[in-house]
Amino acid sequence: MSLLPVAEARARIVAAAGAPLPAEIAPLEACFGRTLAEDVVATRTQPPFAASAMDGFAVRAIDVATAPVVLRVIGEAAAGRRFAGPVGAGEAVRIFTGAPVPEGADTIVVQENAEPPADGCVRILESAPAGRFVRPRGLDFSQGDVLIPAGRVLDARALALAAAMNHPALPVRRRPVVALIATGDELVMPGEAPGPDQIVASNVVALAALVAAAGGEPRVLGIARDTKDAIREKLAAARAAGADVLVTLGGASVGAHDLVQDTLREAGMELGFWKIAMRPGKPLMHGRLDGMLFLGLPGNPVSSMVCGLLFLRPAIRALVGDPQAGRIATEWAVLGASMAPNDAREDYVRATLAPRSCALPEATPAPVQDSSMLGVLARADALIVRPVRDSARQAGEVVEIVRLAGMM
C-alpha cells in the first residue's frame, strides 16, 4: 500500500466519522467547552428598554441646549426601578447606570456636569445633545436574532451571551467517547516501577488530554501486552465503554511484535488505509470496527502526539459537528536557522518561536528532531510544516507553521 498524503488521510478520517453525534440538552453551567448543536436564537431584546449608560440626570436635550440652566428634579430612576412618569419642559430625573430612561427624556447629563441638587432643582452646567449616554432598546440584540451558530465551541463569551438571551440550557453535541489503549511489553503506566527494560507510557496521558481539549471524553484502558489475547481483551473493554473512537498507541508497524492490525482485522475491522507520507507518524492506521472509528497511532510519543493533533483532533471535531473539523490552522513565520532539503514525506518540525520587530515571529527548529524526545516537544511553540521534497531553506525565509498553544 503506497504512502497516503497527509491532507488526503485527514480528509478520509473526517469523512469516515460520518454524521455528528446526537444532541443533548446541558445546563448552561455545564456547557463550557462543549460544541453547540443548533443555532441559538435570542428570546428577548437587549436592552429591553432605552437605558442610561451613566449616572446623572435624564433630561430633554432642548432644555439644556443653552446651558447653564436650572431644571426642576421630579424624581429618581435606578436600575430595576424606573421613574413612572414623563419628563416635561424644564424637568429632570436623577438617573443611575442601567435605569430605564423616562418617557420624554432623550439625553443624559452626567453628574460631573451638574451641581448637586438643592431645593428640588439642579443646575446643568453643560449641554448634551439628544441620545448622549442613552443605550437604545435593542442596542445589543433583538428577539429572534440568531447570535450563536451551530458548531461553535462554547467559551465564556458565548455562554455570557446565551445567558443574556435568557437560555438556562443549550443543545450541545454528545461528547464522543474515545478509548485509548497503549500497547507493548516495554511499557508501564505512570507511577508504576519500570523493569530494567521498560519505560513509562507517556503518550496515553498526552492523548487523553488532547481528546478532552478537542471535546471528547477519554477512556484510558491501560496497556495491552504484546499478545493477541491482550489486545482482544482491551478491545472488549472499548466496546463495553461504548467507545465512538478506538485509538491504539504502538503496534501499528511491521515488526514481529506489532500485532494490532492482524488482531483487529480478525475482529472484523475494515481497514481504510495504513501508512502516510509524513514525519513523524508514518505508520498511522485508520479503519472502522463495530461502529467505532479506529486510529492506530505510532508508539513513539512525539509521533503519536503530532498524529493526534493532525488526525485524531479533526475526527473528534467532526463527531461534534464542527464545520471546520478538517481544517488545521496555519500561519507564517520567518525561519531562524537553515534547514536541509526535505524528502518524500511531509515533515512537521518542532520549533520555538520568538517575536521580531516585524509582524511575523521567528521559528527556530530544534537541532535534534528524534520522535522519542518529549523534552523537545514540550519546549516547542510550533511545528514547521515542510512540504514533500521541499528544497533547502535558508534562515530568513518565510515558512508555514502550526502553533501548538491551545492545540496540544
Q: Write out pLDDT tens, residues 338-389.
A: 999 999 999 999 999 999 888 899 999 999 999 999 999 999 999 999 999 9
CA neighbor of 376 nearest in space, from 311, 301, 307, 309: 301
Mean pLDDT of 120-133: 96
Q: Which cell numbers in the block locate residue 376? A: 523537545
Residue 95 has pLDDT above 90, yes or no: yes
What is the DSSP code string of 49-105?
S-EESSSEEEE-GGGGTT-SEEEEEEEEEBTTB---S---TTEEEEE-TTPBPPTT-
Q: Residue 252: what pLDDT?
A: 67
Residue 407 has pLDDT above 80, yes or no: no
Mean pLDDT of 151-159: 96
Q: Residue 186: what pLDDT?
A: 93
Torsion sign, CA atoms 205, 206, 209, 214: negative
Q: Is the bond into 100 cis (omega within 30 degrees of 0)?
A: no
Structure confidence by residue, pLDDT tens digits, 43-53:
999 999 999 99
Q: Considering the chain, what percentage of its residues have pLDDT values greater than 90?
A: 93
The set of long-range contacts for 26-32, using a CB threshold of 8 Å and a minimum separation of 24, is 26/169, 26/170, 26/172, 27/168, 27/169, 28/159, 28/162, 28/163, 28/167, 28/168, 28/169, 28/170, 31/154, 31/159, 31/162, 31/169, 31/170, 31/172, 32/154, 32/155, 32/156, 32/159
Q: Which cell numbers in the block locate residue 193? A: 516501577
Q: Residue 356: what pLDDT?
A: 86
Q: Which cell numbers in the block locate residue 72? A: 426642576
User: Picking from 92-101, 133-142, 361-370, 399-408, which range would have the lowest pLDDT averaged per residue?
Assistant: 399-408
Residue 194 has pLDDT above 70, yes or no: yes
| CA angle 301–302–304, rounded 5-degree value | 65
Question: How does residue 324 score in pLDDT terms, banded at 50, 70 and 90?
Answer: very high
| CA angle 172–176–177, rounded 5-degree value | 140
Residue 405 has pLDDT above 90, yes or no: no
- Distance separating alpha carbons of residues 272 and 214, to the nearest angstrom: 23
Structure confidence by residue, pLDDT tens digits, 99-123:
999 999 999 999 999 999 999 999 9
Q: Residue 257: what pLDDT?
A: 54
| CA angle 366–369–372, rounded 5-degree value | 125
Q: Residue 251: what pLDDT?
A: 78
- Distance separating alpha carbons of residues 168 and 190, to the nearest angstrom: 40
Q: Considering the chain, what percentage of its residues have pLDDT values greater than 70?
A: 98
- Distance separating alpha carbons of residues 86 and 69, to the nearest angstrom: 20
Q: How far is CA 232 from the centre of its chain?
A: 34
- Distance separating alpha carbons of residues 234 and 264, to the nearest angstrom: 11
Mean pLDDT of 121-150: 97
Q: Residue 317: what pLDDT?
A: 96
Mean pLDDT, rounded, of the chain: 95
Mean pLDDT of 70-81: 97
Cβ density class 323-346: b for 16+ within 10 Å, e for less: eebbebeeeebbbbeebeebeebb
Residue 182 has pLDDT above 70, yes or no: yes
Question: How does residue 314 score in pLDDT terms, banded at 50, 70 and 90?
Answer: very high
Q: Which cell numbers in the block locate residue 330? A: 496555519
Q: Residue 1: what pLDDT?
A: 52
For residue 13, the SS3 value is helix
Structure confidence by residue, pLDDT tens digits, 236-267:
999 999 999 999 999 766 555 578 999 999 99
Q: What is the CA radius of gyration of the chain?
A: 31
User: Picking from 86-95, 97-106, 188-197, which range would have the lowest pLDDT averaged per residue?
Assistant: 188-197
Q: Residue 254: what pLDDT?
A: 58
Tell the residue number behind the cell numbers 439628544, with chain if given: 130
Q: How far is CA 111 from the centre of its chain?
A: 43
